[in-house]
Amino acid sequence: MHTGREVNHNPSALSRKRTAFRAVLFALFIVAAVVLVRYTPIRNYLTTESLGALLKGAGVWAPMAFILIYAMGVCLFVPGTLLTGLGAAIFGAYWGFVYVWIGAMIGASAAFFIGRTLGREFAAGLIGQRLQKYDAAMGRNGFATVLYLRLIYFPFTPMNFGMGLTQVKFMDYFWGTGLGILVGTFIFTFFIGTLKEVWSSGQWGQLLSFKVFFSVVLFIFSFFIPVIIKRIRKVTPP
């Protein structure tokens, strides 16, 4: 005989509530990020002029400030072209590439962990058997999947969060992202940085230099990378 009041704890019910709570937080984070950047006064500061003035005022800390801004921008859906172009224009073709790549990797990693922590359990509970097969396949081939999607320029920020919802391991995601964005990032920063050098020097004759010509060719070539990758994938046996 039980003389005290019995308390029925249902672990599965608590787990479902916790999963749902995290999913709501994840959704609220995405909505808040979009609203913050697009519909509040903060968007007025997300211009090349405002960010450029901020970084110039940072002095020797400008690279660290830029990397932090870039990483935060990735998580808040700030257009990557804006931040990448800003980095190339301020720091030049080569250092701009380094700082942009580091900022993008930090931001991509943070977004992945946000998605993994808040949304993975909920997403796993929603998918059916058919989708579970694809999810498991992505987990087994995480590096190749991430690398391929990066090379074909799959939207950067949505993919960061989205990969966190899958079985893809973080290290596969990290290295796939690091290698996948390497070429595109270098081409874009090299192109913008080179043109900025000519603009700043005022020596317009340099527009006919090999460096400028090479940067333009690389920039044009970058638009064909997704097509080339897709064709290679089609002719390569699975």
Cβ atoms 191, 165 nearer than 8 A: no
| 232 domain-assigned | no
pLDDT in tens, 146-161: 998 998 888 899 999 9
pLDDT tens sequence across 55-82: 888 889 999 999 999 999 999 999 888 8
**DSSP-assigned letters across all residues of the chain:** ---SPP----HHHHHHHHHHHHHHHHHHHHHHHHHHHHHSGGGGG-SHHHHHHHHHHTGGGHHHHHHHHHHHHHHTT--HHHHHHHHHHHHHHHHHHHHHHHHHHHHHHHHHHHHHHHHHHHHHHH--HHHHHHHHHHHHTHHHHHHHHHHTT--HHHHHHHHHTSS--HHHHHHHHHHHTHHHHHHHHHHHHHHHHHHHH--GGGGGSHHHHHHHHHHHHHTTHHHHHHHHHHHS--
- What is the C-alpha to C-alpha distance for residues 55 and 65, in angstroms, rounded to an integer? 7
Domain that holds residue 147: 12-183
Q: Is residue 34 part of a domain?
A: yes
The mean per-residue pLDDT over the stretch 110-123 comes to: 88
Please check whether residue 168 lies inside any domain of the structure: yes
Q: Is residue 203 pLDDT above 90, yes or no?
A: no
Domain count, the chain: 1
**Residue 161 DSSP label:** H
Confidence of residue 195 (pLDDT cuts 50, 70, 90): confident
Whether 58 maps to a domain, the answer reads yes
CB atoms within 10 A of CB 172: 21
Residue 192 pLDDT = 85
How much is the pLDDT for 113? 95
Position 223 in a domain: no
Is 6 domain-assigned?
Answer: no
Between CA 107 and CA 73 the distance in angstroms is 7
- What is the rounded average pLDDT of the residues 171-182? 94
- b vs e for 140-171, b when ≥16 Cβ sit within 10 Å of the residue's Cβ? eebbebbbbbbbeeeebbebbbbbbbbbbeee
